[in-house]
Amino acid sequence: MSESSADLREVVRQRYAAAAAQVTDGGTACCGPQPIETDENFGSTLYAADDREALPAEAVAASLGCGNPTAVADLNEGERVLDLGSGGGIDVLLSARRVGPTGKAYGLDMTEEMLALALANTAKAGATNVEFLKGNIEAIPLPANTIDVVISNCVINLSTDKAAVFAETFRVLKPGGRIGVSDVVSDDDLTPDQRAERGSYVGCIAGALSFTEYREGLEAAGFTGVEITSTHEVAEGMHSAIVRAVKPTNVRRALMHVAAEMAVEKC
Ligand SMILES: C[S@@+](CC[C@H](N)C(=O)[O-])C[C@H]1O[C@@H](n2cnc3c(N)ncnc32)[C@H](O)[C@@H]1O
């Protein structure tokens, strides 16, 4: 990783460590005195009331997402779910309820303070089919072909190596596994500078991919059936979007197809 990428990741880590401390001190991560994001486009208001009521108040207060991936991922009893950038644990705890005692929900986050908050929230919720892992979403600490569904809520835009996130997501999913992600996505005609004019990197705006970049990134990793749907605008030309995609059951054939497409592009 280049020095500037490492610096940027450290800025992100510090910002979310501070957000976790805000919740631990009795505030909310989203809209406290030093807000990360300051409007109704982010945080717990994006969840249905019965979802919020089923969780510890601190898990709800820690919500920093831009959507509700558990509502779109269509989780089933017995499935294994992984949440990339799990924060205070809201989507892990909701997933754990949906997959039930025969399933399992993993949360992965690089920020120690967020992991501590998520563990405290898990204890308050009494959830037992949950495990939190410390690590980076660019190098997921799980074996290949072990996860049914990867979810994530407003995190992939924060990564300094999105190709690695897509490749790692593909690796850990079982053949036929799927992703159901909420993320900030930009209109195709906005340059990186124009995206940065609309909001900061740590505030989940400047690092967003465009719709085409997102689709191409997922397809280059081998995903098929990519669907990216805007749910609401979070800044001019910047959207909260639902991203769905599938790891094909015949991975070898899918990767040969990607390699053939890349060879054609080079000509
Ligand atoms: C915007 S918050 C979203 C948290 C949670 N998904 C939610 O909906 O409340 C971003 C989270 O992703 C984590 N994060 C950001 N970049 C990461 C990376 N490269 N690897 C692992 N975790 C990361 C941060 O520590 C933080 O907890």
* CATH code, 78: 3.40.50.150
pLDDT at 230: 97
Pocket of ligand 1 (CB under 6 A): 9, 12, 16, 62-65, 85-88, 90-91, 109-111, 114, 136-138, 153-155, 158-159, 204
**Token code pair at residue 105:** 């929900």
Mutation test residue for ligand 1: of 10, 16, 119, the one with most atoms within 8 Å of CB: 16
pLDDT at 36: 43
Instruction: Dump pLDDT digits (tens) for 134-170.
Output: 999 999 999 999 999 999 999 999 999 999 999 999 9
Is residue 225 scored above 60 in pLDDT?
yes
pLDDT at 45: 79
- Beta strand extents in 97-159 (DSSP E only): 104-109, 130-134, 147-153
pLDDT at 31: 39
pLDDT at 56: 87
Is residue 37 scored above 90 in pLDDT?
no
Ligand 1: distance of its center to the CA of 85 in Å? 4
Can you give the residue range of the structural domain that contains 102?
3-266
Ligand 1: distance of its center to the CA of 224 in Å? 25
**Positive or negative: CA dihedral 185, 144, 90, 69:** positive
Ligand 1: distance of its center to the CA of 109 in Å? 6
Task: Give the whole-angstrom CA distance, residue 89 versus residue 214.
Answer: 25
pLDDT at 33: 32
- DSSP type of residue 113: H
Q: What is the pTM of this model?
A: 0.91
Instruction: Dump pLDDT digits (tens) for 17-32.
Output: 999 998 887 766 653 3
Domain count along the chain:
1
**Mean pLDDT of all residues in 36-64:** 78
Please report which confidence band the pLDDT of residue 267 belongs to, taking 50, 70 and 90 as the band edges.
Answer: low
pLDDT at 46: 80
Residue bearing the CA closest to ligand 1, atom 27: 87
